[in-house]
Amino acid sequence: MKIYATVKNSYKKHDIFLQTDNYRHSITISPKSSGFGSSANGGELLFLALATCYCNDIYREAAKKGIDVTGVEVSVKGSFGAEGEPASDINYNVKVSAKADENSIKELMLQTDKLTEIQNTIRKATHVKLISAEAIMI
């Protein structure tokens, strides 16, 4: 699975394009009130990625076990220090409603935590590399 994310930003315009393999779509995040940049910061989007991954994976794993999940709530929190410092103390809380006994739901939740790709990426601390930096003079 190949994933792409693109942000195109100019004054009062903030476009976001996402693609997984051949499925392309967009999401809306407004620009900052100044007109430049995103109203959502990278830390918020990183934590949203953690919450979204767990949410989606709970449904995926529940389907494999035949568990009917009717609702998921994921809250992620953490801290960022000075500019350039990585996040620390990232924690998340989950509530899952399902048509199953409590032990089955808790087992599903713990198993999903071990399988979530975004959490595992951060836990592993993967390499990120700038490939191209193109300056455009106007």
pLDDT digits 0-9 by tens, 95-126: 999 999 999 999 999 999 999 999 999 999 88
102: which 2 tokens? 């409590």
Question: What is the crossing angle of helices 117-124 and 42-65, to 10°?
Answer: 130
Which amino acid does the sequence have at 132?
S
Q: Specify the 3-state DSSP secondary structure of 85.
A: coil
Residue with tokens 């739901």: 105
More confident residue, 133 or 83: 83
Q: Looking at domain 41-138, what is its CATH homologous superfamily? A: K homology (KH) domain (3.30.300.20)
For residue 133, what pLDDT is reported? 85
Distance set, CA 123 to CA 4, 5, 40 (Å): 21, 21, 23
Cβ contacts of 38 within 8 Å, gap of 6 or more = 7, 9, 14, 29, 31, 32
Q: What is the mean pLDDT of residues 49-72?
A: 98
Which amino acid does the sequence have at 129?
K
CB neighbour class for 70 (10 Å; exposed up to 12, middle 13-18, buried from 19): exposed
pLDDT digits 0-9 by tens, 33-59: 999 999 999 999 999 999 999 999 999
Domain coordinates in residue numbering, the chain:
1-40, 41-138
Distance set, CA 45 to CA 10, 50, 97, 125, 138 (Å): 19, 9, 25, 17, 31
Residue 79 has pLDDT above 90, yes or no: yes
